């Protein structure tokens, strides 16, 4: 039994993880800029905000995986079945155009695909926001959906204990 409310447990879970992952984004983008001389062609603040949106998607997916698993080992093993397809369908390794039609369709549900498109547009192309606005909308919808489902499952799991 704990005296903490469900929202306090969720807050204590999400906020430190969000801050840690955003620190990773800042370190990686700083290394790209200063170590590898990667040009940053657009608004860095927008990049950080949209990276935060992707981090929320990842946190929502992680909480959902933790909710459907009984042990930590199950979470790790289950994540392998999600991480590999997410990376393969993201266009970070192979262009989407070279994938089979079915995989191209599945890639629309891949949050990493949309984040990679956004990051490439902001860092390398300097593209206006209207060029990747559909990716932002899809990423936002995925974040809301995954966080809502995982938080509801987490609350119901806490109430059943």
Q: Which residue has the higher pLDDT, 137 or 130?
A: 137
Q: Is the pLDDT of residue 92 over 60?
A: yes
Q: Which residues contact 158 (CB under 8 A, 6 or more apart)?
A: 6, 9
Per-residue model confidence (pLDDT) at position 27: 96
Per-residue model confidence (pLDDT) at position 18: 95
Per-residue model confidence (pLDDT) at position 161: 63
Indicate the pTM of the whole model.
0.87
pLDDT band for 140, please (50, 70, 90 cuts): very high
Per-residue model confidence (pLDDT) at position 1: 55
pLDDT averaged over every residue in the chain: 89
Give residue limits of the domains in the chain.
Answer: 6-160
Which range, of 18-27, 38-47, 51-60, averages the lowest pLDDT? 38-47
Per-residue model confidence (pLDDT) at position 102: 92
**In terms of C-beta density within 10 A (0-12 exposed, 13-18 middle, 19 or more buried), how is residue 71 classed?**
exposed
Per-residue model confidence (pLDDT) at position 19: 96
Distance CA 107, CA 96 (A): 8
Distance CA 58, CA 112 (A): 9
Per-residue model confidence (pLDDT) at position 93: 86
Closest CA to 54 of 77, 25, 11, 75: 25
pLDDT band for 2, please (50, 70, 90 cuts): low
CA distances from 20 to 15, 29, 160 (A): 9, 14, 30
Q: Using an 8 Å Cβ cutoff, are 43 and 122 in contact?
A: yes
Per-residue model confidence (pLDDT) at position 43: 85
Rounded average pLDDT over 45-71: 92
Distance CA 60, CA 142 (A): 9
């Amino acid at each position: 039994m704990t005296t903490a409310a469900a929202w306090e447990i969720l807050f204590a879970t999400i906020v430190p993880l969000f801050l840690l992952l955003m620190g990773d984004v800042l370190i990686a983008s700083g290394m790209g800029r200063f170590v590898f001389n990667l040009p940053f062609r657009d608004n860095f603040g927008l990049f950080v905000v949209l990276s935060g949106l992707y981090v929320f998607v990842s946190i929502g997916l992680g909480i959902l995986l933790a909710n459907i698993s009984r042990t930590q080992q199950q979470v790790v093993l289950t994540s392998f079945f999600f991480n590999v397809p997410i990376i393969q369908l993201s266009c970070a390794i192979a262009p989407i155009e070279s994938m089979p039609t079915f995989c191209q369709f599945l890639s629309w549900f891949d949050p990493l695909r949309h984040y990679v498109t956004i990051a490439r547009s902001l860092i390398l192309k300097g593209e206006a926001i209207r060029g990747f606005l559909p990716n932002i909308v899809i990423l936002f919808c995925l974040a809301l959906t995954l966080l809502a489902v995982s938080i509801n499952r987490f609350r119901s799991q806490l109430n059943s204990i």
